[in-house]
Structure 1
């Protein structure tokens, strides 16, 4: 070998492996490296043959170090790949270090001819020796992790150079999945392993998510697995970006006077995790739009398949995760595509609510999704609203009859949490959408047929445990249209506020104020960039005229309560 300075001490295989990680190696784009004179390609072939024959091991180890540590030029890498391709049959597990040294080369930065040559080498290598597949795919996926210091893409669109590099990597992945079926499981394992932690930079998340969605373009059969991974990670972001923290930071952090006209700063969330979530959800919404649209029209087959895959993820990941604020809007968006999807989702949720074998907390959450979707979705037609109210009303009255037949009423909220949840959902929808429900005489007749008076005066006394804001707004609507007289019950309840003291399953003494919580997943969306997709589909609350002397602005005033989490109403004492 010519002009190579190498330590003359014996170099063991383990010492060669003692190097920077693959990810670090791929990310070190600009680190200055020593320039060596690369050996003639025929010398490389000779070195590999000698090592395979267990001769001159030191020369082989020096070659591995040279490939790993030197700054390769196009001619260097091209010659190396030419010779290595001709020796494919030799590149078994015994030459693993040589193979891995080539695989960690940052090949996407070379010329087009070398890139094409490199792609062919990887495909030929794994076709002959599939035991290198895991390391090879790990190096390919590592290319999806950019320099964390890079800025976010403008408007979420990758620049040409980044797009070109990404396409070259995807071409190799697609070919490998076609040639070697086992690579699919390896790929799924690798994308899970490399998914950036929520503390990583927003650009890292943006680029990685972009590339996962690109995989779905040419491998749609992986959609269920990849969507499950993506939404599991988005939920983690959502949990670590509480709505209260986001609002506090947005209100507290003032923009510098010199940055007032800086659009980027104005559109960027102050909460770092919320910013990542905002960028990620915008990319998801845009991907779903492109996927389900064809020539400006909805592609029903693709939309139906997407809904079915996301619904599985919703059931396994989103529904069991309580009090997340933004990721559930993915279902909100999907429901807006077609009324058939909205109806299917409502039916799915109602089956959860009415199934006694489902955990109470999940039934409570499911009915909250129903109420929030119908209240907030501008795309939810009146017939679905009325059908849901009728369905809930029938269930409530049936439950009341069952309790009356028992003869002994125990109104503990823990025992009847599903009943109270359905009542609160029904009161919430009537108060929120009352203007749509009283336009015609037949609509008033429909509301009268729900027999709301019996609900509010039954022995279980749902007005006692429902959120005060919901109770007051519902009572106002009920009195205005003479549907029920709630104020006597409310007054009685206010004089008989007795907390419940009990022991939990661990024996700890707990005190309950006997008030149902107010989790409504589609309360106002506060992420800035992705909000542009949700805003046209969203309904803000208008107070009943009798309940308020002022005309609240729809966008600015909705959801401002003097206490706790919000069901979307303005509470007045």
Structure 2
């Protein structure tokens, strides 16, 4: 067939109802359909020459010659008209050729014709639906051997391909609603894996970035009702997978047994200068942020998080952030909450809260406090919850002081009840949850004490809280919690006339102690402050204005804490 068409028609001009050839003879689209139909039917009679020529047209790799492009375009259109004559027994090679095509190698007209054929195949026979979905998902990215995404032409091609791919997916799901489940599974299974030694890292980074873009297009597109939840969950999983792969030894350096916990007053804080060093002095040598900048995994995670944070902004603009947040929150509780090596992924939910403090922001805190209070949860979950809660309350600029006080009251009330029920002495391992709550209370107040004391109503509430009897209880929280936090808290409490301690605590320069290590457990939850400023360079622009300034600057080399020199 290809030979015949090439011989008889050397030039094609795409028209809806006809094509004009060099000799002035016109044939209609139906003529071409009949010609292709005959080629398909002839296979059963043993005459496969026209069929093989048709398959050869689809296999042709030279997409630059106008006559070849015209022939391919015409063949695809004709196949769409004859799709009911295609079967998976006689036309295996044809189907393989169709489903093996990449829109990334086609001009826009051919993309449209190919998309029309894929949709027609899906509509004609249910057995082709999975293959059609598979083909479209394969077109999320250029062919494996291509590096076009690293060049401007590849970016331009992306803007041509992706809208067509997603239009096709939306049409197929509309025609066959059950296809949505298969689509979700397909997208998750085909997600590129970053940890492949046999692949160029730059190319793999480009492929993962564009794959994420496609997942977010599905989440925000016309079929999000069917696939949005699974896309969000997998996006979080993708980022968490990269997150935990970044070791603390890649972030920090020098003596792993040392750490510095410096504390500054808020009115003495200064922003970091452009080279990443604080204006008023150098960072301790125990921290090296530049190491992170050279980390290819961190660089990829940074780029993926930027895409996702921008997607959250779009969701907020479209008034659908609350819908997205429900999935984010459930995913957070199922994965991130108890992943003690998580360093960056949690900022996705933090940013969602910042975009909608009154709804998402409040719900996040309330969920965490309920997780902490519930005795149905294991201790490690409760300790993680209060670590997240205290870090969130301390760092979130977008949270009102009144709301912070309300959450603090719930923690204080729980601690008081716990003290009243206990008649035992200090035991870091036996009372881990209690010490976590006490440390969380002190940590939050180290950030908010000054602002609270400046508001008469809040000051009155704070002074009425039974913080003193809790911290002076024979369980000894002041001796068990991190010395650095206790020390700063006591200084501020004394200055605010909250209460004073007669006993002298000699731990001026101690970051941690044997007791704090005991209550923190293997996960070192005593030193887990998950919303301390993020080290990722690009994400910094999203988070800096949302975080309370570095009232605390925590620089440690253990595997459960990080900070930055913003």
Task: For 1:101-500, list aligned pairs within 5 A.
Answer: 101-146=97-142, 149-150=147-148, 159-199=155-195, 201-215=204-218, 216-221=220-225, 222-242=227-247, 244-246=249-251, 269-293=293-317, 299=319, 302-340=320-358, 341-404=360-423, 409=424, 411-486=426-501, 488=503, 490-491=505-506
8 Å Cα contact 2:432-2:520 kept in structure 1: no
Where do 5+ consecutive residues of structure 2 fail to align?
A: 5-31, 196-200, 255-274, 276-289
Q: CA deviation at 1:119?
A: 1.9
Q: CA deviation at 1:568?
A: 6.4
Q: 1:444 to 1:108 in 2, by over 3 A?
A: closer
Q: Deviations over 1:275-308 (max 9, x none)?
A: 11111111111111122115xxxx3xx1221222
8 Å Cα contact 1:323-1:519 kept in structure 2: no
Q: Deviations over 1:421-466 (max 9, x none)?
A: 1111001111122221221455444333223221222121112321
Q: Secondary structure at the match of 1:490?
A: coil
Counterpart Cα distance in 1 of 2:431 and 2:48:
76
Structure 1 residue aligned with 2:72: 77
Q: 1:2 to 1:422 in 2, by over 3 A?
A: closer
Structure 1 residue aligned with 2:87: 92
Counterpart Cα distance in 2 of 1:514 and 1:241:
16
Q: CA deviation at 1:145?
A: 1.9
Counterpart Cα distance in 1 of 2:361 and 2:373:
18
Q: Deviations over 1:188-217 (max 9, x none)?
A: 111111111123622111111111111222
Counterpart Cα distance in 2 of 1:232 and 1:164:
29
Scaled by the length of structure 1, the TM-score of the pair is 0.76
Structure 2 residue aligned with 1:528: 537
Q: Deviations over 1:95-141 (max 9, x none)?
A: 23311212212245434333322222111111111211222211211
Q: CA deviation at 1:346?
A: 0.9
Q: Deviations over 1:56-101 (max 9, x none)?
A: 4688568646643653522221232244234322212212331121
8 Å Cα contact 1:500-1:513 kept in structure 2: no
Q: 1:512 to 1:291 in 2, by over 3 A?
A: closer
Counterpart Cα distance in 2 of 1:190 and 1:334:
27
Task: For 1:35-46, list aligned pairs within 5 A.
Answer: 45-46=37-38
Counterpart Cα distance in 1 of 2:351 and 2:107:
42
Q: CA deviation at 1:566?
A: 4.3
8 Å Cα contact 1:420-1:516 kept in structure 2: no
RMSD of equivalent CA atoms: 3.6
Counterpart Cα distance in 1 of 2:449 and 2:296:
39
Counterpart Cα distance in 2 of 1:189 and 1:272:
28
Moved more, 511-520 or 391-400: 511-520
Q: CA deviation at 1:564?
A: 6.5
Counterpart Cα distance in 2 of 1:480 and 1:501:
29
Counterpart Cα distance in 1 of 2:349 and 2:523:
31
Q: CA deviation at 1:161?
A: 2.8
Counterpart Cα distance in 1 of 2:173 and 2:525:
51
Q: 1:170 to 1:562 in 2, by over 3 A?
A: closer
Q: Secondary structure at the match of 1:218?
A: coil
Q: 1:569 to 1:469 in 2, by over 3 A?
A: farther
Structure 1 stretches of 4+ moved >6 Å: 1-4, 40-43, 497-502, 510-515, 567-570
Where do 5+ consecutive residues of structure 1 fail to align?
A: 5-39, 250-259, 261-265, 503-509, 544-557
8 Å Cα contact 1:126-1:133 kept in structure 2: yes
Q: 1:196 to 1:511 in 2, by over 3 A?
A: closer
8 Å Cα contact 1:499-1:512 kept in structure 2: no
Counterpart Cα distance in 1 of 2:373 and 2:155:
50
Q: How many residue pairs align between the two structures?
A: 484
Counterpart Cα distance in 2 of 1:433 and 1:522:
15
Q: Secondary structure at the match of 2:397?
A: coil
8 Å Cα contact 2:393-2:399 kept in structure 1: yes
8 Å Cα contact 1:465-1:516 kept in structure 2: no
Counterpart Cα distance in 1 of 2:400 and 2:426:
35
Q: 1:563 to 1:84 in 2, by over 3 A?
A: closer
8 Å Cα contact 1:100-1:135 kept in structure 2: no
Structure 2 residue aligned with 1:29: none
8 Å Cα contact 1:137-1:187 kept in structure 2: yes
